[in-house]
C-alpha cells in the first residue's frame, strides 16, 4: 500500500498521466468506476487493509473465475495430466458472471485546461467513447484511426510534426475499456501528443482542420494501403514469443472474444476498403463531439484556445 501511495504523486506530476486521469473524470459519470484511476486514488488506497485483500482473493481469485492459458511446444506433453497435478488441486464453486452496468459517457464538445503555471509544453489528450472489438466496425475503425495518427506517416504527424514543427509526434488510437459476456462494451478513442506552449492554439487549430478535411475529402487509397501493410504485414513479428501469444489469448478470454478473433481481425483489415475506413474514422472523431484535455499554462493558452470555438473552456488546478 505504501508503494502505491508513493507512486500517485509522481503520476499526478506526469502530464500524460494527469491528462488521462482528467479525461476519464470528464467522460464518465462520477459513480462509474471508469471515472477513477484503475489503481485507485490516495483516499481509496489508504482504506485497503489485509482483511480486504484476503476477502477479495477469496471472492474472485479462484477456479470458478479463472481460465488457464498455456502456450508453447507441447509435443510429448500430457497437458491434461500436468494440469491435473497442479491446478487440479485448486477447487471451488462455479462463479456467476459479475454484473456490469452499461458504459455511458458525456462527449459534449468542450475543453478542460489543467493549469500548470510556467509549463513550456502543453500535453494534449482529445477523446470520446466509441465501439469496441465486438462491433463490426472495429476493423475499419482500427484501419482509419491508424491512417489518422497511428505512425510517423499518418496525417496528424505529417501536418503537425513535419509541416508545422509543433510536436515530436501525435498519435490517434483506440483503447479497449471492458465488455461483458453479451458483447456489450466500449473503447476510448483518443488523440494524444504534446506541443510547445506558444503554439498550443495553432496546433489545435490545425488538428481540427485535419479532422474536417478528412470528413470532407476522405482517406486516399495510398494511405489505406500503407496502413494495411503496416498492420497486417508485420503482424507475425508480434507473436514471436509464447508470452505474446498467451497474452493475446488471455485478453480475448477476458473480453469474451472468440478464440480466432485475432486471425479474423487481420483478415478483415486486409479486406477493408478506403471508403469503409474513412467512414469509420470520421464517425470515431467527429469535430463537435470531442472532449479536449490540455495540461499546460492556462495563463498563456486559455484565450487562444477559446478563440478556436471548439467548445466551452474551463480551467482546473493541476
DSSP the chain: -HHHHHHHHHHHHSHHHHHHHHHHHHHS-TTSGGGS-TT--HHHHHT--HHHHHHHHHHHSSGGG------S--TT--HHHHHHHTGGG------PPPP-PPP------EEEEEE-TT-SEEEEEEEEEE--TTSTTHHHHHHHHHHHHSSTTSHHHIIIIIIS---S-EEEEEEEEEE-TT--EEEEEEEEEEEEGGGHHHHHHHHHHHHHHHHHH---HHHHHHHHHHHHHTHHHHTSSHHHHHHHHHHHHHTT--TTHHHHHHHHHHH--HHHHHHHHHHHS-TTS-EEEEEE-HHHHHHHHHTTTSSEEEEEE-
> Are residues 233 and 288 both part of a single domain?
yes
Tell me: the pLDDT tens digits for 129-174?
A: 999 999 999 999 999 999 999 998 899 999 999 999 999 999 999 9
> Are residues 169 and 223 both part of a single domain?
yes
Q: Percentage of the chain with pLDDT > 70?
A: 100
- pLDDT tier for residue 189 given thresholds of 50, 70 and 90: very high
> Are residues 292 and 190 both part of a single domain?
yes
55, 89, 123 - which closes a domain:
89
Tell me: the pLDDT tens digits for 6-61?
A: 888 888 899 999 999 999 999 999 999 899 998 888 888 999 999 999 998 888 88
Mean pLDDT of 61-87: 90
Q: In the prediction, which pLDDT does 8 show? A: 87
Task: Find the CATH number of the domain harbouring 117.
Answer: 3.30.830.10
Q: In the prediction, which pLDDT does 65 show? A: 80
> Are residues 48 and 139 both part of a single domain?
no
26, 56, 89 - which closes a domain:
89
Mean pLDDT of 75-90: 91
Q: Percentage of the chain with pLDDT > 90?
A: 76
Mean pLDDT of 56-68: 84
Q: What's the alpha-carbon Rg for the chain, to the nearest Å?
A: 22
Q: In the prediction, which pLDDT does 9 show? A: 86
Q: Is residue 103 included in any domain, yes or no?
A: no
**Does residue 181 carry a pLDDT above 80?**
no
Q: Is residue 100 included in any domain, yes or no?
A: no
Tell me: the pLDDT tens digits for 95-114?
A: 777 778 889 999 999 999 99
Q: Is residue 99 included in any domain, yes or no?
A: no
Alpha-carbon distance of 220 to 278, in angstroms, equals 9
Q: Is residue 98 included in any domain, yes or no?
A: no
Domain containing residue 312: 110-317
Q: Is residue 73 included in any domain, yes or no?
A: yes
59, 89, 119 - which closes a domain:
89
> Are residues 58 and 185 both part of a single domain?
no
> Are residues 46 and 141 both part of a single domain?
no
Mean pLDDT of 58-70: 85
Q: Which residue carries 513550456 as its cell?
A: 120
Q: In the prediction, which pLDDT does 57 show? A: 85
> Are residues 160 and 283 both part of a single domain?
yes
> Are residues 182 and 309 both part of a single domain?
yes
Q: Is residue 161 included in any domain, yes or no?
A: yes
Q: Is residue 125 included in any domain, yes or no?
A: yes
Least confident of 166-180, 184-198, 271-285: 166-180
Domain count, the chain: 2
Q: In the prediction, which pLDDT does 284 show? A: 98
> Are residues 30 and 130 both part of a single domain?
no
> Are residues 82 and 15 both part of a single domain?
yes
Q: Is residue 68 included in any domain, yes or no?
A: yes
> Are residues 181 and 52 both part of a single domain?
no
Tell me: the pLDDT tens digits for 284-301?
A: 999 999 999 999 999 999
Mean pLDDT of 210-229: 97
Average pLDDT, the chain: 93
> Are residues 61 and 182 both part of a single domain?
no
Amino acid at each position: 500500500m505504501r508503494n502505491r501511495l508513493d507512486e500517485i504523486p509522481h503520476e499526478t506530476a506526469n502530464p500524460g498521466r494527469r491528462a488521462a486521469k482528467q479525461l476519464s473524470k470528464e467522460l464518465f459519470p462520477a459513480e462509474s468506476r471508469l471515472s477513477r484511476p484503475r489503481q485507485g486514488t490516495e483516499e481509496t488506497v489508504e482504506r485497503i487493509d489485509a482483511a480486504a485483500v484476503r476477502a477479495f482473493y477469496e471472492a474472485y481469485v479462484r477456479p470458478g473465475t479463472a481460465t488457464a492459458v498455456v502456450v508453447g511446444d507441447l509435443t510429448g506433453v500430457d497437458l491434461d495430466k500436468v494440469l491435473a497435478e497442479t491446478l487440479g488441486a485448486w477447487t471451488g464453486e462455479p462463479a456467476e458472471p459479475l454484473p456490469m452496468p452499461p458504459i455511458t459517457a458525456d462527449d459534449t464538445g468542450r475543453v478542460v485546461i489543467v493549469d500548470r503555471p510556467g509549463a513550456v509544453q502543453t500535453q494534449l489528450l482529445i477523446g470520446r467513447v466509441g465501439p469496441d472489438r465486438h462491433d463490426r466496425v472495429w476493423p475499419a475503425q482500427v484501419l482509419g484511426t491508424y491512417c489518422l495518427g497511428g505512425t510517423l506517416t499518418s496525417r496528424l504527424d505529417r501536418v503537425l510534426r513535419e509541416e508545422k514543427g509543433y510536436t515530436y509526434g501525435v498519435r490517434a488510437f483506440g483503447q479497449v475499456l471492458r465488455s461483458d459476456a453479451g458483447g456489450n462494451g466500449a473503447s476510448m478513442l483518443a488523440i494524444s501528443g504534446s506541443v510547445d506552449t506558444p503554439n498550443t492554439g495553432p496546433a489545435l487549430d490545425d488538428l481540427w482542420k485535419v479532422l474536417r478535411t478528412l470528413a470532407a475529402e476522405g482517406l486516399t487509397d495510398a494511405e489505406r494501403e500503407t496502413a494495411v501493410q503496416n498492420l497486417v504485414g508485420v503482424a507475425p513479428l508480434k507473436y514471436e514469443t509464447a508470452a505474446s501469444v498467451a497474452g493475446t489469448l488471455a485478453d480475448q478470454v477476458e473480453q469474451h472474444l472468440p478464440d480466432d478473433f485475432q486471425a479474423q481481425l487481420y483478415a478483415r483489415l486486409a479486406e477493408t476498403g478506403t471508403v469503409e475506413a474513412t467512414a469509420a474514422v470520421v464517425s470515431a472523431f467527429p469535430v463537435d463531439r470531442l472532449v479536449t484535455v490540455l495540461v499546460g499554462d492556462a495563463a498563456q493558452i486559455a484565450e487562444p484556445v477559446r478563440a478556436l470555438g471548439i467548445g466551452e473552456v474551463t480551467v482546473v488546478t493541476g
